[in-house]
Amino acid sequence: MPELPEVETIVRDLKKKVLNRAFLDVWTDWPNMIKKPKNFGLFKKGIKGERIKEIKRKGKNILFRLSGGKTLLIHQKMTGHLLFGNWEKKKKGWRPKAKGPLEDPMNRFLHLVFWLDNKGQLALSDLRKFAKVELGESREIESSKELTSLGPDPLEKDFNFRQFEEILKNKKGKIKKILMNQTLISGIGNIYSDEILWQAKIHPFRDVSKINKKELKTVYRVMREILKKAIKLRGESISDFRDLEGRKGQFDIARKVYRREGESCSRCGAVIKRMKMTGRSAHFCPNCQK
């Protein structure tokens, strides 16, 4: 699933490509991804003519504030990613008109295509078709429980260590699960929780109540450092993620433990392990993460 750095990469690119553009038309072959309104005809009617006035990220959600007081919400979920370009419909699906990164096989699962007034198209490629799309009055969309229940963004300027410490105060449970709990801190998932804890030398199964203040300060510091670095490197594409132009992110060069089980730890040389954690995987060094 795209996490904070991948979603932020898409949002920053969208601001360059589609801000102030208007939607002319829309197509889908998977209307189930449109959760609001349920009827695709109403969705199509509601989006046509709307101009994009603002684009922002809330956790892992992308919000397009539109000219008519509406908001378009897109959550890319497990395998979705937005693309910008030009495609033509063929019998076997959509094909990009130009040679380049949009031809990457991971970009061929187009299930939602918007036509914009700058002759470009905004498309959602989603292999597993889990992505969620909503269109409604801004007040309704942005006051939904799903958005209001999100914890603070770890890269917000006012998200200081004191706030981080207060969130974790009196909490019990494995530190990796705490970092991925979207109601406590928004945007961090499996990849970056592993990378943060490796850098901080904290074992992912450690109970947060057993982590001292000095260690917490390290987790806070490296959390912000790694997320910023991942954004600079345009995200991680070890799986499905591609940026708005269809290119892979470059965080792979910085990845230390995620999906590196059986390899040597770059810090101490021990063999990296993977263990299950309630349906997810935790990757860590058993020697230098305590």
Which residue is catalytic, options 2, 5, 96, 154? 2
Tokens representing 37?
């309104």
Mapped onto helix, strand or coil, the DSSP state of residue 122 is strand
Cα→Cα distances 68→26, 40, 49, 136, Å: 17, 19, 9, 10
Active site residue 105: no
In angstroms, rounded to a whole number, what is the distance separating the alpha carbons of residues 217 and 162?
A: 9
Which residue is catalytic, options 35, 248, 280, 286? 280
Which residue is catalytic, options 3, 50, 134, 236? 3
Cα→Cα distances 26→49, 71, 102, 159, 282, Å: 11, 16, 19, 38, 40
Q: Which residues make Cβ contacts (< 8 Å) with residue 107, sequence separation at least 6?
A: 81, 83, 96, 101, 125, 242, 246
Tokens representing 100?
């380049």
Active site residue 3: yes
Q: Which of 110, 81, 97, 136 is nearest to 246 (CA)?
A: 81
Categorise residue 45: left if φ over 0, alpha if ψ from -120 to 50, beta otherwise. alpha
Around Cβ 285, how many Cβ atoms within 10 Å? 24
Is residue 6 a contact partner of residue 61, using CB atoms and an 8 Å limit?
no
Active site residue 2: yes
For 87, the enclosing helix (H) or strand (E) is: strand 87-90
Which residue is catalytic, options 44, 57, 58, 60? 60
Active site residue 156: no
Question: Would you please indicate which residues are annotated as catalytic (active-site) residues?
Answer: 2-3, 60, 280
